[in-house]
């Protein structure tokens, strides 16, 4: 492209500053979507914050954490959902508690199967015989639900190794919700971001 001549420069600038009348924006005003192959725009955000405690009896299976789920309806099957979770929990045993993220009834963001190992999104264990201590987990996954139907993501908790005792969310693993200053009451969240594909 050749250099801008003085005459042309004088027509589109005033004192060296480009004026709005010197810019043709017809091509910009007709843009209604991102070019093909360009994505990453956040289209909507859905979030749930759970502040109340939740107690689950420990068993061989995982249990839904009541109130820790969120539902989103994607605008396109090519869009992705970024799921971000922060969960505070504890157990009344010295065994590792496990958290699992699900899309509907399908577990996502879990480890590969390996022998008798339990597939989970994350896990943790309180200090030996100190179930007044709480645990924290923050994890995320970029999921591709490939649907435009309402889709629910939820968190489950479990300690598959043992039976008896409890696992608790938003408080420590002490059996029952004891009213003591050294036991925290915390909050957990699940947030969904729809990302343009």
DSSP state of 72: E
Residue 60 belongs to some domain of the structure: yes
Of the ranges 32-36, 133-137, 188-192, the best mean pLDDT one: 188-192
- The two tokens of residue 174 are 């002490």
The span from the CA of 50 to the CA of 190, in Å, is 9
pLDDT tens track for 79-120: 999 999 999 888 777 677 789 999 999 999 988 888 878 888
Residue 23 belongs to some domain of the structure: no
Residue 155 belongs to some domain of the structure: yes
How many structural domains does the chain have? Answer: 1
Of the ranges 96-100, 128-132, 153-157, the best mean pLDDT one: 153-157
Residue 105 belongs to some domain of the structure: yes
Gyration radius (Cα) of the chain, Å: 26
- Residue 16: predicted pLDDT: 61
The span from the CA of 66 to the CA of 77, in Å, is 28
Residue 51 belongs to some domain of the structure: yes
| pTM summary value | 0.74
pLDDT tens track for 161-182: 766 677 888 887 665 556 666 6
Residue 121 belongs to some domain of the structure: yes
The span from the CA of 56 to the CA of 169, in Å, is 9
- The two tokens of residue 137 are 């987990």
pLDDT grade for 28, boundaries at 50, 70 and 90: very low
Supply the mean pLDDT for the chain: 79
Domain of 145, CATH number, reads: 2.60.120.1340
Residue 32 belongs to some domain of the structure: no
Residue 35 belongs to some domain of the structure: no
Residue 71 or 182, more confident: 71
Q: Residue 37: left (phi > 0), alpha (psi -120 to 50), or beta?
A: left
% residues pLDDT > 90 (the chain) = 37
Q: Which domain holds residue 138?
A: 42-195
């Amino acid at each position: 492209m050749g250099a801008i001549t003085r005459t042309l420069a004088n027509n589109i600038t005033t004192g060296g500053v480009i004026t709005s009348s010197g810019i043709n924006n017809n091509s910009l005003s007709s843009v209604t979507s991102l070019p093909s192959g360009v994505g990453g725009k956040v289209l909507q955000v859905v979030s749930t914050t759970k502040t109340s405690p939740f107690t689950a009896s420990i068993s061989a299976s995982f249990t839904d954490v009541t109130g820790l789920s969120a539902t989103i309806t994607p605008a396109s099957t090519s869009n992705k959902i970024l799921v971000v979770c922060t969960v505070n929990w504890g157990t009344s045993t010295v065994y590792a508690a496990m958290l699992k993220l699900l899309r509907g009834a399908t577990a996502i963001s879990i480890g590969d199967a390996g022998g008798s190992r339990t597939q989970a999104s994350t896990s943790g264990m309180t200090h030996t015989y100190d179930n007044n201590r709480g645990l924290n987990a923050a994890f995320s996954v970029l999921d591709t639900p490939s649907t435009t139907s309402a889709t629910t993501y939820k968190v489950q908790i479990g300690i598959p190794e043992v039976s008896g005792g409890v696992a608790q969310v938003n408080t420590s693993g002490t059996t029952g919700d004891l009213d003591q200053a050294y036991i925290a009451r915390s909050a957990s969240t699940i947030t969904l971001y729809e990302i343009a594909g």
